[in-house]
Amino acid sequence: MTPLELSQPLHIAVALRHRNEETLDRFLRDLNQPGSPSYHRYLTPAEFKARFSPTDAQVAAVVAHLKANGFLNVSVSENNMLLSADGNANNVQSAFQTSIKRFNYKGKPAYGNDLSARVPSSLALSVDSVLGLQNAVVPHSMLQRFAPEAVIEPDSIEKNTTDASKLVGHEPTDFAKIYDASSLPAATNTTVGIIAWGDMTQTIADLNTFTQNAHLPKVNTAVVEDGSGIPVPDADIEFALDSQVIIGTSGGVKELIFYPAMSGPGTDRATDATVNAAYNKAVTDDKATIINVSLGNDEYTSYKTGALAAADAVFKQAVAQGQTFSVASGDAGVYVGSYSPHGNQGYIGTSDGASITTINDLSKYSVQYPASSPYVVAVGGTMLSTTGTMTWAGETVWNDGAAYADLDGTGKRVDNAVRIWATGGGKSVYEAAPSWQTAALGSSVTKRVLPDVAFDAARSTGAYIIFNGQKMKSPSGGTSLASPIFVGGWARLESATNNSLSLPTPAFYENLPGNTALHHDVTAGNNGYHGYGFTATSGWDMATGFGSLDFAKISAAIRSWRAQ
């Protein structure tokens, strides 16, 4: 390690703490409790700010500290929760009593702080975390596409289909029929958000091509940037998948809003600071009822960088306002914290082409954040089998087995590192179990466990999407497919209830156990390697949660849930 040049530009974000945190937590519990005076009495952004955000005086003190230490372009979010600023390594060292080091990480140049950021004692009760001090591990998408020759050990569960049911790719519109959402009205009363990065021009053009080909109405779209950081030049294929599957499953929405994160200096990808700013913008806008997140990091990194605490504060406000974040649980099984030499998750060892030599401790598990947040819906993945292409026939845990981890732009391997592709799921280390989860799963559950639900994510049964104007020749999968399926289906339910459902997980854990008519319980497969990981069982499990939903039956049941 060597010191980062003091003149190196850095874009940071200072996340502040809520006021009256205990009162806020009590309000969030009551908000989803039938019979409570606060039941579904959602707050406006102005009401939330008045009751729970930092005061203007607290914000002014932090702004003064940043400016006194040389930061420029200091901006304050509408809810007073996030301050963004531009500076350099010298400003960071002066303001936060830490130094930034330069080093190589997974074969790439990177920088990061060597000590935790500190602030003057007068600001300690206001400041929660400082983001943007590292670019070694940044949020990434949950998209599975690679050349078939990259697969080394396909998981045996893929063969467990009958002659009547098949593993086939699907059009994005198929999922509404498969998961029994097509009988419900389209979600034209509901605005949906997507957390993204990059220029959305091609993504929206591809969405328009998709809707034209699928004979769906053209989607009213918007792109809302938070104004901090540097625009990322090219959008990922990820957001073509997100948008087309959401629209295909929902049948159309009132508006689809993209919230692209900016990049930080010295990187062409979004950082923890800019992704959190995108989350916050979606919440302060308060236009999208449900927001898709197909991005994340391993939970340990999110905790250490402060991103976990900062994002949880945003997600709490979303719940208070009646918004729902749906988050992909990850594509590295139980090994999301294990990285290959080129920085890809799910690393388990190396291969000589004939066999795999495991390197890491396969019994050491980890989960993805923000999927592990108790204030979001964590969506895992299944392998879907259908009769034809539109009739549900069965699901198993999505686990495509082992494949080469580090690939070039054509999907060919660049080294011998091996990873698994499987649905994320397990137990959080840092997030306490919410009361509704403990009540359903037992008092031994003291930490947040995930996923909550799961939908199709397998490459072989994934979605054929439009990218760069052309229909892809092979399907795209991953939990980046599963979460948009849930978002599209749930948007139909929100439209049918005047956008009044809010975070549905408390209702899921109260009403789904034992009621298998409402969901497809997954009972086969696991999300680890060679017997490790979590195995699907009858009822909720850490591989697929409650499984996938039958949206029409859930829609009918909601009326009785709300009358309790």
Q: Write out the binding residues.
A: 521-522, 539, 541
Three-class SS state of 134? coil
Catalytic residue among 174, 242, 406, 494: 242
Residue numbers belonging to the annotated binding site for Ca(2+): 521-522, 539, 541
Closest C-alpha among 280, 253, 320 to residue 491: 253
* DSSP per residue, 53-70: SPPHHHHHHHHHHHHHTT
Q: Is 242 a catalytic residue?
A: yes
Cα 387 to Cα 17, 384, 465, 516: the distances in Å are 51, 10, 21, 21
Catalytic residue among 238, 299, 406, 456: 238
DSSP conformational letter for 447: E
Whether 492 and 251 have beta carbons less than 8 Å apart is answered as yes
Residue 144 has phi, psi (to 5 degrees) of -110, 110
Residue 194 has phi, psi (to 5 degrees) of -135, 120
Give the position of tokens 């699928």. Answer: 214
Q: Long-range contacts for 65-73 (Cβ within 8 Å, ≥24 apart)?
A: 65/95, 65/119, 65/120, 65/123, 66/14, 66/95, 69/94, 69/95, 70/94, 70/95, 71/12, 71/95, 73/228
Residue type at position 139 = P
Kindly give, in sequence order, each residue whose CB lies less than 8 Å from that of residue 135, ignoring residues fewer than 6 positions away. Answer: 110, 111, 112, 264, 266, 267, 271
Please return the burial class of 160, using the count of CB atoms within 10 Å of its CB with bins 0-12, 13-18 and 19+: middle
Kindly give, in sequence order, each residue whose CB lies less than 8 Å from that of residue 173, ignoring residues fewer than 6 positions away. Answer: 214, 216, 248, 249
Residue 328's DSSP bridge partners are 379
Residue 282's DSSP bridge partners are none
Q: Is 238 a catalytic residue?
A: yes
Residue 86 has phi, psi (to 5 degrees) of -110, 135
The first and second tokens of residue 541, run together, are: 């499990």
Kindly give, in sequence order, each residue whose CB lies less than 8 Å from that of residue 516, ignoring residues fewer than 6 positions away. Answer: none
Measured distance CA(258)–CA(385) in Å, rounded: 31
Longest pairwise C-alpha distance within the chain = 71
- Torsion angle, CA of 83/88/91/92, rounded to 10 degrees? 70
Catalytic residue among 351, 480, 483, 555: 480
Q: Which residues are known to be catalytic?
A: 238, 242, 480
